[in-house]
């Protein structure tokens, strides 16, 4: 609890270009629930270097992502939006938590196994202990809730195990975080292969709508989207392409699948795809305009970055000092 509110923590990596899937599945929900919580939304740049990055590119993407958080509607006065690497406690707590995490636990992490297979020439220790840094992110702020996708649930479970283990030895030091399970965010699939999730790292750019795609590109990609053979707009598992388009349309318009079926009753795929494209443009265009406006105001963004890093540093230090004391580090002389 912080100022009478529960604490919420989440973060995203600044790797790849954010897609409509990231927006409708995560960022949009962050905005919706923000007011109910004391929130920390981090750009987790320290996690990104577990895989080799181009430095200039990483810096640029990190700033883009942070700006997007604000453009999407997170007020940086009310939400602590900051770079993980600007707050020293993440690495410091991660070290301590490393000493409370077993090799066997980390060996079981499916994301580690996947990434190790994908980056076989660079299976570094950071990749292995990635989940411990994530645990530090969460526990550092005594977070109550963590909105995460299904792919991060295993990491959150491990976070809870580490926290409970630590508390078991030293008393109630950490709040045990829960996954935020609210209204499910839309799960957006690839426009070219509806069996696959829309992904930042898809080699086929026509499968994904990027948040920065211009209106013409968005419409073009929807026109080319894979559909099915029934030639009618019906929401069912047998038509995964159309189902995905209906989900996107509903997420952008607030309509239900049943309303959408009625709206397009007797109409062809062409009309429907056009309408989906336009609904997405109507959501992304204001976000892009706001992004452009924010990007021009360097001084403002810099002040947000500085002030929120200080705020995060302040709150995280409270937990860190307590933990350092518990494990037996000598007191600081002031
Ligand atoms: N590992 C998360 C991802 O790739 C990002 C992340 C890092 C995160 N630290 C976190 C998410 C803490 C939630 C809470 O999606």
Q: Write out pLDDT tens, residues 61-90.
A: 999 999 999 999 999 999 999 999 999 999
- 181 pLDDT above the threshold of 90: no
Give the model's confidence band at 231: pLDDT under 50 very low, under 70 low, under 90 confident, else very high: confident
Report residue 149's pLDDT band, with 50, 70 and 90 as the boundaries.
confident
DSSP state of 41: E
Predicted confidence band at 184 (pLDDT cuts at 50, 70, 90)?
low
Distance 228 CA to ligand 1 centre (A): 35
Q: What is the pTM of this model?
A: 0.94
Residue 182 confidence class, pLDDT cut points 50, 70, 90: low
> Is the shortest distance between the CB of 39 and ligand 1 below 6 Å?
no
Stretch (H or E) spanning 287: helix 269-296
Nearest to 280 by CA among 19, 20, 5: 20
Is residue 200 annotated as part of the catalytic site, yes or no? yes
Instruction: Give yes or no for residue 245 CB within 6 A of ligand 1.
Output: no
Is the CB of residue 44 below 6 angstroms from any atom belonging to ligand 1? yes
Where would I find the beta strands (DSSP E) of 44-169?
79-83, 145-146
Does the beta carbon of 7 lie inside 6 Å of ligand 1? no
Q: Give 103: exposed, middle or buried? Use CB within 10 Å, 0-12, 13-18, 19+.
A: exposed
298 catalytic? Reply is: no
Instruction: Say if ligand 1 is within 6 A of residue 152 CB.
Output: yes
Q: 11 CB less than 6 Å from ligand 1?
A: yes
Mean pLDDT for the stretch of residues 182-210: 87
Cα–Cα distances in Å, from 312 out to 33, 38, 51, 175, 306? 20, 12, 25, 17, 10
Asked if 87 contacts 314 with a C-beta cutoff of 8 angstroms, the reply is: no
Does the beta carbon of 134 lie inside 6 Å of ligand 1? yes
Q: Give the mean model confidence (pLDDT) for residues 264-270.
A: 93
Q: Which atom of ligand 1 has the smallest separation from the CA of 149?
A: 15
CA of 121 to the centre of ligand 1 (A): 24
What is the best residue among 137, 146, 154, 157 to mutate for testing ligand 1's pocket, by most ligand atoms within 8 Å of CB?
137
Q: How far is the CA of 230 from the centre of ligand 1 (A)?
A: 40
Strand partners, 197: 189
All structural domains of the chain: 7-181+298-327 (3.40.50.620), 205-292 (1.10.240.10)
Is the predicted pLDDT of residue 92 greater than 60, yes or no?
A: yes
Name the residue at shortest CA distance from atom 6 of ligand 1. 11
**In this model, does residue 224 exceed pLDDT 80?**
yes
Among residues 71, 45, 68, 70, which one has the least CA distance to residue 58?
A: 45
Q: Which ligand 1 atom lies nearest to the CA of residue 147?
A: 13
Give the Å distance between the CA of 212 and the centre of ligand 1: 22
Q: Which atom of ligand 1 is nearest to the CA of 131?
A: 1
Task: Check if 197 is active-site.
Answer: yes
Q: Of 197, 221, 243, 273, which is the active-site residue?
A: 197
At residue 229, the pLDDT reads 82
pLDDT at 201: 81
Of 118, 40, 117, 124, which Cα lies nearest the Cα of 74? 40
- Contact between residue 112 and residue 128 where contact means Cβ atoms under 8 Å apart: yes
Average pLDDT along the chain:
95
């Amino acid at each position: 609890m912080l100022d009478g509110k529960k604490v919420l923590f989440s973060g995203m990596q600044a790797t790849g270009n954010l897609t409509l899937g990231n927006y409708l599945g995560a960022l949009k929900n962050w905005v919706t629930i923000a007011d109910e919580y004391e929130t920390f939304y981090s750009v987790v740049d320290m996690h990104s270097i577990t895989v080799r990055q181009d430095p200039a590119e990483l810096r640029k993407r990190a700033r883009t992502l942070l700006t997007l958080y604000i453009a999407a509607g997170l007020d940086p006065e009310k939400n602590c939006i900051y770079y993980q690497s600007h707050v020293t406690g993440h690495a410091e707590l991660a070290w301590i938590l490393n000493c409370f995490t077993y090799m066997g636990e980390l060996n079981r992490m499916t994301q580690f196994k996947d990434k190790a297979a994908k980056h076989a020439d660079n299976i570094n220790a950071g990749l292995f202990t990635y989940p411990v840094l994530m645990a530090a992110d969460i526990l550092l702020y005594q977070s109550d809730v963590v909105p995460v996708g299904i792919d991060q649930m295993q990491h959150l479970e491990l976070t809870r195990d580490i926290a409970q283990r630590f508390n078991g030895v030293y008393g109630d030091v950490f709040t045990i975080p829960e996954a935020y399970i609210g209204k499910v965010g839309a799960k957006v699939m690839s426009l070219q292969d509806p069996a696959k999730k829309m992904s930042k790292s898809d080699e086929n750019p026509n499968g994904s709508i990027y948040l920065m795609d211009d209106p013409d590109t968005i419409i073009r990609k929807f026109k080319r989207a894979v559909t099915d053979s029934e030639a009618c707009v019906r929401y069912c598992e047998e038509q995964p392409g159309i189902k995905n388009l209906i989900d996107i349309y509903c997420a952008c318009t607030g309509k239900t699948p049943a309303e959408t079926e009625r709206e397009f009753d007797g109409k062809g795929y062409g009309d429907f795809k056009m309408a989906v494209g336009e609904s997405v443009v109507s959501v992304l265009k204001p976000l892009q305009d706001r992004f452009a406006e924010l990007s021009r105001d360097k001084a403002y963004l810099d002040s947000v970055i500085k002030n929120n890093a200080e705020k995060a540093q302040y709150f995280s230090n409270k937990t860190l000092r307590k933990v350092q004391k518990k494990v037996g580090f000598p007191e600081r002389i002031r």
